[in-house]
Amino acid sequence: MADITKDRKKRSLKSVLTKNVVTLIFIFLTVAGIALSNLPVFYLASEMLTRITRNTFLVLSLIIPITAGIGLNFGIIVGAMAGQIALIIALYFGWTGLGGLLLACVVATPIAIFFGYLTGVLFNNTKGQEMIAGLIVGFFANGIYQFLLLIVVGGIIPVKKVPMIKPDGVGLRNTIALDTNFGEVGLKYAFDDVFKVNLFHFMMIVGAVIIIYSLIRLIFRNKFQNVTNQKSKITYIIYTVLGAILIGFAYIILTASTGSFLFSGTDSSAIQSLNMLQTIQVPIFTLFLIFLIAVFNIVIMKTKLGQDFKSIGLSQHIARVSGINVDRTRIIAVIMSTVLAAWGQIIFLQNVGTMNTYGSHMQVGLFAVAAILIGGATVKNANIGHGILGIILFHAVFIVSPTAGKELFGDAQLGEFFRAFVVYGVIGVSLALHAWKNRKGLEDLGQ
């Protein structure tokens, strides 16, 4: 008897390990990289924060197609192009500030819907090969995008002489600055600068929200009886403690410079780095947008449409038999993903501040897909948690690998090649593992 439970325990540990092998490797890489690179905490923290707020939206745009069984939508590049076209229109007409950027999002929407529709139709014609089709459609659309922006603009459609048009009046420049738009504020940081809060104040607020939420769930426990995913009491007590720790941690850091007793013995350079940490600001509005998209992803799964996505993802055949219009629903999933990617690219670029007209979009699909896979998603299963964990791990490795490469081999370039290898490798390995498991599953069933 004891042997059986032991055996089961062993097996479950093994299955947890094999299921999360990619994530575990990345946790290891992150820890090793941070230890090797010796980067200052301030730099790490502020870079991480920037990259998380910058990229999360794009990564979350991948979830709906995965649920609908389309797989990893490498075609979000097309959505990113729609976002960039909208930004170019916004810059051309001199729209600025928050209003300008929101207007750009509005302009991006119909373009992205159109692109998403075409991509969806293509995916319906290449069922079973959506991922490679998504990759190639990105290259294909890039050709059309370049034709539009290099030749049609100025060559066929007459345009005013604005700074982003090339000197000869035909086509757009390679890089377009979003920050100075006719001497006005421009579009850079238009979302980020709406409302900012000190990182540690933000942590305290988050801690407080967690505590209040857990306490409510604990105290009014009886009223939530009908909720299906009721968690145990212990979970909420742990949440409360974690919230308290978060507040305590933030408080200690904030009071460090003002002579807290905890830091009486530490030297001045440590205090100085703590002081620098205190200057980190959190762009609340951008986080709010990410929060909205996360809520959207959860809410949509509760609707009829979301249930359709799920049943198509499980089996197209059964979904069709039960009266779901499979092709139409798949197109809707791709359109949603494309529109979200367009907005995601706008959020990304307003933070970066300069648009590489012919390059900014090309890596979007690759990085987003790699990130969500690192977070533990598979071709068939992804959620918001995978996305966020993936972004944290992926960008941590991204930030530290050049410095780690320099420390290890005396060459930053090696670290950069290594991270590119890892990005491609992660996608290859995750897809191969998934296909291998699928095939093994089929064999187990059949024989």
Partner 1 sequence: MVAFIKNIGFPRFMMSLLLVVILVTAIFVGIPIGMVMTDLIQRVGMYGIIVLAMVPSIQSGTGPNFAVTIGIVLGLLAATTAIEFELVGTTAFIFAILMALPLSVIVGILYGKLLNACKGAEMTIATYTGFSIVQLMCIGWIILPFTSDIMRWPIGRGLKTTFTLEETFKHVLDNFLKFNIGNVEIPTGLLLFFFLACFLVYSFTQSKMGTAIQLGGMNNKFAVASGVNIDRGRIIANVISTYLGAVGIIVYSQSFGFIQLYTAPLMMAFPAVAAVLIGGATASRAKVSHVIIGVILFQGVLTSSMPVLNEIIPFGSVAEISRMVIQNGIILYALTKVDGGH
Q: Which is nearer to partner 1, 328 or 437 (CB)?
A: 437
- Tell me the CA end-to-end span of the chain in Å, nearest whole number: 30
Q: What share of the chain is helix, strand, coil (3-state, %, to 5)?
A: 75, 5, 25
Do 180 and 186 touch, CB atoms closer than 8 A?
yes
Say whether residue 143 binds partner 1 (CB under 8 A). yes
* β-sheet bridge partners, residue 164: none
Q: Pick the binder of partner 1 from 136, 206, 280, 305 (CB under 8 A).
A: 136
- 299 is a site residue for partner 1 (CB under 8 A): no
Of 46 and 124, which has the nearer Cβ to partner 1?
124
Q: How far apart are CA 320 and CA 82, in angstroms?
A: 32
Cross-strand bridge partners of residue 281: 198
Rg, the chain, Cα only: 24
* Binding-site member from 96, 311, 316, 401 for partner 1 (CB under 8 A): 316
* C-beta separation of 76 from 337 below 8 A: yes
> Which window, 5-13, 20-28, 44-52, 420-428, contacts partner 1 (CB under 8 A)?
420-428
Q: How near is the Cβ of 123 to partner 1 at its closest, in Å?
A: 10
- Number of amino acids touching partner 1 (CB under 8 A): 46
Q: Which is nearer to partner 1, 181 or 337 (CB)?
A: 337
Give the integer Cα–Cα distance in Å for 89 and 110: 13
Considering the rule CB under 8 A, would residue 167 count as an interface residue with partner 1?
A: no
Task: For residues 154 and 352, give the distance between their C-alpha atoms in angstroms, rounded to a whole number.
Answer: 27
Which of 147, 182, 224, 288 lies at the binding interface for partner 1 (CB under 8 A)? 147
Q: How far is the CB of 96 from partner 1 (least distance, A)?
A: 29
Q: Does 144 bind partner 1 (CB under 8 A)?
A: yes
Of these, 150, 162, 242, 408, which contacts partner 1 (CB under 8 A)? 150
Contacting range for partner 1; rule: CB under 8 A; set: 97-105, 175-183, 346-354, 412-420: 412-420
Closest CA to 25 of 376, 321, 343: 376
Residues 422-441 that bind partner 1 (CB under 8 A): 424-425, 427-428, 431-432, 434-436, 438-439
Do residues 30 and 393 make contact, with C-beta atoms less than 8 angstroms apart? yes
Among 142, 255, 273, 307, binds partner 1 (CB under 8 A): 142
| Residue in 184, 226, 209 with CA at minimum distance from that of residue 287 | 209
| Strand pairing class (281-283; 196-198) | antiparallel
- 151 contacts partner 1 (rule: CB under 8 A): yes
Three-state SS string over 245-291 comes to HHHHHHHHHHHHCCCCHHHCCCCHHHHHHHHHHCCCEEEHHHHHHHH
* Shortest distance (Å) from residue 229 CB to partner 1: 33
By beta-carbon proximity to partner 1, the closer residue of 78 and 347 is 78
Nearer to partner 1, 3 or 168 (CB): 168
For position 128 contacting partner 1 by CB under 8 A, the verdict is yes
* Of positions 13, 132, 238, 318, contacts partner 1 by CB under 8 A: 132
Helix, strand, or coil here: 62? coil
Residues 20, 386: Cα–Cα separation, whole Å: 11
Q: Comparing C-alpha atoms, which of 45, 46, 103, 53 is closest to residue 288?
A: 53
Please report how close the Cβ of residue 185 comes to partner 1 at its closest, in angstroms.
32
Which residues lie near partner 1 (CB under 8 A)?
122, 125-129, 131-133, 135-137, 139-140, 142-144, 146-147, 150-151, 155, 168, 170-171, 316-317, 409, 411, 413-414, 417-418, 420-421, 424-425, 427-428, 431-432, 434-436, 438-439
